Amino acid sequence: MSNIIRPDFQNNSQNGNTQKTEPVPGYQLLLEITFSTPPINRRIQVSGNITLADLHEVIKTCFNWSDDYGHRFFVGKILYGPRSKNETTTSYDEAATRLHELEEAMGFIFTYYYDAGSGWECEITVEQLLPPTNTIEPPVFLDGEQATPPYQFIDIHEYQAFLADLEVAESGKRRRMLVDYNLASDFNPVYCDSEELALKVQHSIDH
């Protein structure tokens, strides 16, 4: 990693209501599903001026998740999530928090939870700082490893147990297992469709 991000919570903005007019860096991020073996990951580049709510849209596109379940970010020592007028929550508003405001904290802990922490966990690593700009460029998908886990599985542990059983199953049992989870007969857990993801990620947020 060309730049090491170190935590400095005293300088970390919490309200996220202001957007700097001067150029801010972008970030190359590695998204990796925690406890996945081999690693299920995606590498992206995003503007530092996007909000955490925007980053949520990019991440859920990378892993084919939806808004059917809750999500949260844990950055540094703070939880961020969606807010509504009728919602009482202890987390900060992800829609009012821009990525560059959290640069120091991202080097300490940067985690995304899908299904509000009881389902999938995605560790986010800042791999590289990108040249500063005062515009918001579309997100870019660079590469990825392993197929997106099908939505039928509630967490990485259930999915990897399924893959382990599938690998040793005889042909008849394999077909039944795929049918039970509504998966195609040619399901390939190691294939990442990078071309399709690149198009989807590019259009995952609208500015």
Q: How confident is the model at residue 97, as a pLDDT?
A: 96
What are the CA-CA distances from residue 89 to residues 54, 93, 98 (Å)? 20, 9, 19
Q: How confident is the model at residue 3, as a pLDDT?
A: 45
pLDDT band at 190 (very low <50, low <70, confident <90, very high): very high
Token pair 């590695």: residue? 30
Tell which wins on pLDDT, 90 or 49. 49
Tens digit of each residue's pLDDT (9 = 90 or more) over 79-90: 999 986 655 566
Q: How confident is the model at residue 90, as a pLDDT?
A: 65
Instruction: Determine the average pLDDT of the residues in 9-36.
Output: 72
Highest mean pLDDT among 1-10, 50-59, 77-86: 50-59
Q: How confident is the model at residue 117, as a pLDDT?
A: 52
Q: How confident is the model at residue 206, as a pLDDT?
A: 81
Instruction: Assess whether pLDDT exceeds 50 at residue 177.
Output: yes
Q: How confident is the model at residue 17, as a pLDDT?
A: 43
CATH superfamily to which 9-146+193-202 belongs: MM3350-like (3.10.290.30)
Instruction: Assess whether pLDDT exceeds 50 at residue 12.
Output: no
Instruction: Assess whether pLDDT exceeds 80 at residue 29.
Output: yes
Q: How confident is the model at residue 116, as a pLDDT?
A: 56
pTM exceeds 0.95: no
Q: Is 194 in contact with 147 (CB distance < 8 Å)?
A: no
Instruction: Assess whether pLDDT exceeds 70 at residue 16.
Output: no
Q: What percent of the chain has pLDDT over 70?
A: 85
What does the domain layout of the chain look like in residue ranges?
9-146+193-202, 149-191
